[in-house]
Structure 1
Amino acid sequence: MDEVLWAVGRASGVVALLLLTVSLWLGIVTRSGRPLPGMPRFSVTLLHRNVSLLAVVFLVLHIGTLLLDSYAKLTLTDVLVPFLGAHLPFWLGLGTVAVDLLIAVTVTALLRRRLGVRVFKAVHWLSYALWPIALAHSIGDGTDGTSGWMLVLAGASVLFVLVAVLWRVSAWFLETAGARRSDAEPSRRA
């Protein structure tokens, strides 16, 4: 049974990381104001929310199976308090920090209407810290973290997110371009 728990724990961690990567990418795309080809903007927003919630499900599966696995020997303290773990405390602590950030982002997203847009956006910016911390945890603490396939997967994830961020801060970013046009119009009239 422990072998199954160990395998499910490892696999669910990788799937959670991939879903967090896609979620971050979709969040960047959603914020751009442009739809994906063939999808209206509201569909991208719904997809972002659903992928994010699915990432939470796989993260709960990841933590739950490793808590039950006698080989991993993960404790509730390891999950709740960063950097106190017996095995690789720094890397495990990064996972704990990522979970804490994900809880904050998820709770504020679910309570968005009650908390208001300002609080939601302020906390949601933590996603930009959450993702690289989770990635570092995967590489540093994961059994397969330094294997070739995992490093390729991590590198592809980084590239995927960097391209989206570069696109977002570029001149072709819709909101930036719109702001530039608005700023330029009064000077043309004068």
Structure 2
Amino acid sequence: MPDVSLWHAARASGMVSMLLLTATVLLGILGPMRVGTVTWPRFTLAGLHRNISLLTLALLAVHIVSVSADSYVPIRWIDNVVPFVSTYHPFWLGLGTVAFDLILALLVTSLLRPRINQRLWRALHWLAYICWPIALAHGLGIGTDAMSGWPLILGVLCALAVLAGMAWRLASARKKIMARLS
């Protein structure tokens, strides 16, 4: 019987990474809205956003290492950083690579935030809105059972949560603009 522990590690870490990335995006949406309460001040939400982002990177590392170490599929280490060069599902794996590269860009620019222009950092941080749907598409496209059962439900719930968060943020911004104009 073949050892499927790496496959399980890759699958589980990929799904948990998607959940954590969704939480990171939602907390990122809340930040500029100045959401906070007495029990959850804004700096707490910012810290939670940062820590969940780091946890997402750790789980993503587990995901990448486990898919690359698993000999069942031919995923080379280079396939994890150079998009669309893999022989195994090049499009879907390439999307995952693009999402990973964008996450790395977000990490590096966040680490350099005190040393770079605030507007540049903010503009680059908008990459999260591109990264998230690419990562979701990667998971739904390459996952062995992602388009059925609970993995599909999980993907749909993540999408609905981010769409609701974005709608709330846009409505809040529109309300502020309308208040300034009146």
Measured after TM superposition, the shift of residue 37 of structure 1 is 7.6
Measured after TM superposition, the shift of residue 5 of structure 1 is 1.3
Query: Matches of 2:73 and 2:158 in 1, distance apart?
Result: 26
Matched, 1:60 2:55: no
Query: Matches of 1:3 and 1:31 in 2, distance apart?
Result: 43
Matched, 1:158 2:159: yes
Identity of aligned residues (%): 45
Moved more, 141-150 or 59-68: 141-150
- Give the aligned length: 181
User: 1:123 corresponds to which residue?
Assistant: 124
User: 2:180 corresponds to which residue?
Assistant: 182
TM-superposition CA deviations, 1:73-121 (whole Å, max 9, x none): 3102211211111121100100000001010011111111011211211
Q: Extract unaligned runs of 5+ from structure 2.
A: none
Is the partner of 2:48 in helix, strand or coil? helix
Query: Which amino acid is 1:182 matched to?
Result: R
CA contact (8 A) 2:13 2:63 kept: yes
CA contact (8 A) 1:78 1:84 kept: yes
Query: Which amino acid is 1:38 matched to?
Result: T
Query: Matches of 1:37 and 1:151 in 2, distance apart?
Result: 37
Measured after TM superposition, the shift of residue 38 of structure 1 is 3.2
Distance 1:44 1:165, change over 3 A: same
Measured after TM superposition, the shift of residue 32 of structure 1 is 0.7
Q: TM-score, normalised by structure 2?
A: 0.93
